[in-house]
């Protein structure tokens, strides 16, 4: 019994010693951590470094100016062929998309009635000629009788009147015959110009009336854009000025046109003026009705302070730039003016010192007042870099 009790005491003592040792080690480890890092040391943030290629300077530059125009392509030559006679459409020889030549027969209207009318008019002319011949013989005979005093002057005047009536009747009959011949010829519809059939307004078998549209023909060799231009910009436009056009569906391909005409009056309501831009289309690649946008190069503006477009940021409706001023980043609000997308410059109306570098590239997570340094350019960069306007 005493032996068992002594063993329990020994085991309990060992457990207590183990717990005490672990507790002491933990306390010592915590104490060493507090002694090593307990007092945090403040470290200054690293300065941002920018190379010469990351910076830009305000420069006085003449901005290119462009006048934007847009409109729908329309053929300069087109025709809606109409029926000149009424009747049933007996034949149609062309379909949409087919090319036709000027004078080519494209449709025919049933001419049975017209032929009957023509025969009737021919008979009327022959009858009138016979009447005139008889009246002429009577007149010739009466002239002799009048000279020989066998008839009175009144009798001769009656004969002369009958001769004049017969001559007028013949002329009227000949005119009616000419109209019948024209109607028969008009029964064959021909193309008035060389081009492409754009639309058939009627189908074979349908009855058409006089002046009813039959077919539309367009010539795609020369197209035209009617663009609305503000009246304020018209004084700078001249006939013959080049126009660069982009057409929907052709990607980045540009077509070259020219200002063909300028309307002399403004459009009611808009106070804008129509400008007609001609566009050659020899390969017929462009189609009527396509939408196009373009621009007309105007004279360059007077030199103005500018920066690269990429240097100007926008946020909440405000434009601003980042500058490196006094070793720190500074966010400056600026007012912008005209853009020159061709040269990638934008006018800066806010006064900025020409010698202050501006971040030309876009950087993320920039903070106001953060330390910033400009790396000294190498010799090769000094040779290629242009000196900023106004810099000392």
Q: Which DSSP category does 316 fall into?
A: T
- Predicted local distance difference test score (pLDDT) of residue 222: 94
From residue 264, alpha-carbon distances to 38, 223, 258, 271 in Å are 86, 21, 18, 12
- Indicate whether 196 pLDDT > 80: yes
Q: What is the CATH number of the domain that holds 272?
A: 2.40.30.170
Same domain? 291 vs 308: no
Going by pLDDT thresholds of 50, 70 and 90, the confidence category of residue 292 is: very high
- Identify whether 27 is part of a domain: no
Same domain? 191 vs 96: yes
Instruction: Give the relative orientation of helices 112-147 and 153-186 as an angle to the nearest 10 degrees.
Output: 160
Going by pLDDT thresholds of 50, 70 and 90, the confidence category of residue 104 is: very high
Same domain? 261 vs 281: yes
Same domain? 308 vs 294: no
Per DSSP, the residues of 173-198 read: HHHHHHHHHHHHHHTEEE-SSSEEEE
Mean pLDDT is lowest, of 8-17, 282-291, 315-324, 380-389, for: 380-389
Q: What is the span of the domain harbouring residue 243?
A: 219-298
- Identify whether 201 is part of a domain: no
- Identify whether 42 is part of a domain: no
- Identify whether 262 is part of a domain: yes
Structural domains in the chain (count) = 3
Going by pLDDT thresholds of 50, 70 and 90, the confidence category of residue 7 is: low
- Identify whether 345 is part of a domain: yes
pLDDT one-digit tens code per residue, 330-385: 888 999 888 887 788 888 888 888 788 888 878 878 888 888 888 766 555 444 44
pLDDT above 70 as % of the chain: 84
Q: Which DSSP category does 371 fall into?
A: B
- Identify whether 316 is part of a domain: yes
Same domain? 139 vs 224: no
pLDDT above 90 as % of the chain: 27
Per DSSP, the residues of 128-158 read: HHHHHHHHHHHHHHHHHHHHTTSS-HHHHHH
Same domain? 313 vs 357: yes
| Cα 321 to Cα 325: distance, rounded to the nearest angstrom | 12
Average pLDDT over residues 182-208: 90
Same domain? 230 vs 173: no
Q: What is the CATH number of the domain that holds 313?
A: 2.40.420.20
- Identify whether 283 is part of a domain: yes
- Predicted local distance difference test score (pLDDT) of residue 1: 44
| Cα 130 to Cα 331: distance, rounded to the nearest angstrom | 107
pLDDT one-digit tens code per residue, 46-97: 778 888 888 888 888 887 778 889 999 999 999 999 998 888 898 889 999 9
Q: What is the CATH number of the domain that holds 168?
A: 1.10.287.470
């Amino acid at each position: 019994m005493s032996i068992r009790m002594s063993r329990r005491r020994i085991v309990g003592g060992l457990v207590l010693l183990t717990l005490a040792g672990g507790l002491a080690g933990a306390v010592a480890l915590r104490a060493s951590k507090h002694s090593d890092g307990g007092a945090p040391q403040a470290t200054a943030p690293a300065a941002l470094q920018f190379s010469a290629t990351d910076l830009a300077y305000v420069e006085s530059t003449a901005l290119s100016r462009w006048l934007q125009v847009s409109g729908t392509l329309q053929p300069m030559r087109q025709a809606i062929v109409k029926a000149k006679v009424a009747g049933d459409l007996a034949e149609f020889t062309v379909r949409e998309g087919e090319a036709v030549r000027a004078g080519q027969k494209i449709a025919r209207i049933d001419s049975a009635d017209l032929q009957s009318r023509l025969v009737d008019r021919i008979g009327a002319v022959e009858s009138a000629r016979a009447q005139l011949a008889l009246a002429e013989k009577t007149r010739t005979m009466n002239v002799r009788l009048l000279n020989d005093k066998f008839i009175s002057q009144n009798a001769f005047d009656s004969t002369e009147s009958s001769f004049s009536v017969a001559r007028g009747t013949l002329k009227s009959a000949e005119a009616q015959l000419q109209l019948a011949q024209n109607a028969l010829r008009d029964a064959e519809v021909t193309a008035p110009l060389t081009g492409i059939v754009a639309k058939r307004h009627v189908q074979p078998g349908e009855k058409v009336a006089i002046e009813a549209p039959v077919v539309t023909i367009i010539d795609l060799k020369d197209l035209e854009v009617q663009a609305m231009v503000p009246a304020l910009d018209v004084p700078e436009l001249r006939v013959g000025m080049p126009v660069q056009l982009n057409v929907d569906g052709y990607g980045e391909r540009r077509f070259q046109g020219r200002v063909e005409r300028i309307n002399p009056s403004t459009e009611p309501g808009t106070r804008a003026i129509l400008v007609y831009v001609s566009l050659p289309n020899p390969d017929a690649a462009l189609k009527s009705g396509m939408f196009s946008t373009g621009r007309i190069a105007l004279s360059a503006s007077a030199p103005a302070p500018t920066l690269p477009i990429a240097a100007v940021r926008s946020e909440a409706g405000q434009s601003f730039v980042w500058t490196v001023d006094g070793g720190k980043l500074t966010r400056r609000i600026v007012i912008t003016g005209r853009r020159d997308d061709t040269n990638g410059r934008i006018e800066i109306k806010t006064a900025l010192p020409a010698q202050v570098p501006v971040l030309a590239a876009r950087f993320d997570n920039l903070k106001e007042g953060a330390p910033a340094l400009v790396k000294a350019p190498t010799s090769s960069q000094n040779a290629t870099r242009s000196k900023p306007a106004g810099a000392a």
